[in-house]
Amino acid sequence: VGEFSLIQRYFERPAKSRQDKHTALSIGDDAAVVRVPHNHQLVLTIDTLVEGRHFPVATDPRCIAYKSLAVNVSDLAAMAATPAWFLLSLTLPDVDDDFLSRFSAGLFEAADEFGIHLIGGDTCKGPLSISIQATGYVPMNGYITRANARIGDRIFVSGNIGTAALGLAVIEGKLEIDSELKKLSVQALNQPRPRIDMIPLLRQFASAAIDLSDGLIGDLQHILEQSGVGATLDQSRLPVLDIIREQDLYPLALNGGDDYQILFTVRESEVEAVAKFSVTENIDITEIGVICETGYTMQTSSELIDLSQQRGFDHFVEG
Ligand code: ADP
Ligand code: MG
């Protein structure tokens, strides 16, 4: 198959499922055309996943595709942007029908789940690599940045953390756990669920937000640096699996990446309201610390640890 029929076969969907009131022109022309909702701003992001770097060589193509889209949508959610469109740049070593059918199934499974539409892309030959550019929208100036945390704000995180890193440790043979927990943690690693359900809460209550891709310590550090503040975390409050708490595997939750939960801050005066909102809307969030003037520490059961010198995952430092 040539490039053209490859795109048609695997990435163009029947007209009905392509219909989207915000898309004027989709795959098939020189470029796509979108309609920006009235009084909104566009929010744009891009992420690349490279074989052997972001996923092991033998990873199920369905998971590769799902995760490639999930990490982009997670960035949009962290900005409080509603996902709308994405472009897919695919570099393939060859045209492998089995790979492409599974890749395309995972991609559209994710796209349907997140309510985002594939409207174009590019395809070329080379070592396997997937770039996805995703665009969302926010009501005018309704986006949330990393830069607006203030002294006294409380620090919250969605879901639980360290689960994906637990899955990775198991795959790498560094840990043995029971099969149910293994399934759950490997699933968290391979099929992260970006927290689009958090968007209304963030728009209403967050002063700053970031999605957790490189580990809690490093990602919170970004908020602290950009907001010019410090923080103290309370280890006993971290939402982690029992196994992490019981076996003291906290580094998985603190330094492990790939959680794709949302870390955010809330003004002290809004804490009660956010707690109420999370109950009525059934959104799992946990308060884990407080923003202070300077310093970056975590209280454990026995000591106050300095986090300021610990770093998150950095491809160019550790790789
Ligand atoms: P051009 O040479 O003008 O860049 P292409 O042949 O690359 O055109 O693409 C033709 C059409 O197919 C365009 O609408 C483009 O957005 C779309 N397309 C190409 N590759 C992909 C892909 N991997 N996924 C989705 N759409 C794609
Ligand atoms: Mg092209």
Q: Is the pLDDT of residue 312 over 60?
A: no
Q: Rounded to the nearest whole angstrom, what is the distance from the C-alpha of residue 117 to the centroid of ligand 1?
A: 14
Q: What percent of the chain has pLDDT over 70?
A: 95
Partners of residue 83 on adjacent β-strands? 136
Q: Nearest-CA neighbor of 85 among 71, 101, 69? A: 69
Query: What Å distances lie between residue 186 and 71, 169, 192, 243, CA to CA?
Result: 16, 9, 10, 15
Nearest to 127 by CA among 47, 11, 49, 12: 49
More confident residue, 311 or 269: 269
Nearest ligand (C-alpha, residue 29): 1
Residues in the chain: 319
Residues 6+ apart with CB under 8 A from 300: 235, 236
Per-residue pLDDT, 16: 61
**Ligand 1: which residues within 6 Å by Cβ?**
3, 7, 11, 27-30, 88, 90, 118, 120-123
In the structure, what pLDDT confidence band is assigned to residue 56 with cuts at 50, 70 and 90?
confident
**Centre of ligand 1 from the C-alpha of residue 32, in Å:** 10
Distance 61 CA to ligand 1 centre (A): 20
**CA gap 138, 44 in Å, rounded:** 11
Cα of 55 from ligand 1 centre, angstroms = 25
Judged on CB neighbours under 10 Å (0-12, 13-18, 19+), 15 is: exposed
Substitution candidate for ligand 1 out of 12, 27, 124 with most atoms within 8 A of CB? 27
User: Per-residue pLDDT tens for 13-28?
Assistant: 876 666 688 999 999 9
| Confidence at residue 17, expressed as pLDDT on a 0 to 100 scale | 63
Q: Which residues of 49-60 are buried (b: 16+ CB within 10 A; e: fewer)?
A: bebeebbeeebe
Pocket test for ligand 1, best of 122, 124, 130 (most atoms within 8 A of CB): 122
| Mean pLDDT, residues 266-294 taken together | 98
Ligand 1 atom at minimum distance from 26 CA: 14
Percentage of the chain surpassing pLDDT 90?
A: 88
Quick check: 65 pLDDT over 80? yes
Q: What is the pLDDT of residue 316?
A: 62
- Sequence-ordered list of residues with C-beta below 8 angstroms from that of 319, at least 6 positions apart, any chain: 53
Q: Which-ligand-closest: CA of 130?
A: 1
Residue of minimum CA distance from atom 6 in ligand 1: 4
Residue (of 257, 245, 258) closest to 300 by Cα position: 245
Give the residue, by CA position, lying nearest to ligand 1 atom 27: 121
Cβ-contact 115, 109 below 8 angstroms: no
Q: What is the pLDDT of residue 55?
A: 83
Q: What is the model's pLDDT at position 53? A: 86
**Cα gap 291→294, rounded to integer Å:** 9
Ligand nearest to the CA of 4: 1
Ligand in closest contact with the CA of 7:
1
The atom of ligand 1 lying closest to the CA of 10 is 24
Task: Share the mean pLDDT of the chain.
Answer: 94
| Closest Cα to atom 18 of ligand 1 | 121
Look at residue 219 in the predicted model and tell me its pLDDT: 97
pLDDT at res. 19:
65
- Per the CB < 8 A criterion, the answer to whether 210 and 261 are in contact is no
pLDDT value at residue 4: 77
Residues sharing a CB contact under 8 Å with residue 202, sequence separation 6 or more, in sequence order: 77, 78, 80, 144, 209, 262, 264
Rounded Cα–Cα distance for residues 41 and 24 (Å): 17
CA of 123 to the centre of ligand 2 (A): 7
Model confidence pLDDT, tens digit, residues 201-235? 999 999 999 999 999 999 999 999 999 999 999 99
Distance in Å, CA 66 to ligand 1 centroid: 20
Residue of the CA atom closest to atom 21 of ligand 1: 121
Q: Is the pLDDT of residue 313 over 60?
A: no
What is the pLDDT at residue 319? 37
SS3 226: helix
pLDDT exceeds 70 at position 315 = no
Counting Cα atoms < 13 Å in the Cβ hemisphere of 154 gives 19
Q: Mean pLDDT across the stretch 130-136?
A: 98
Tokens, residue 143: 């986006």
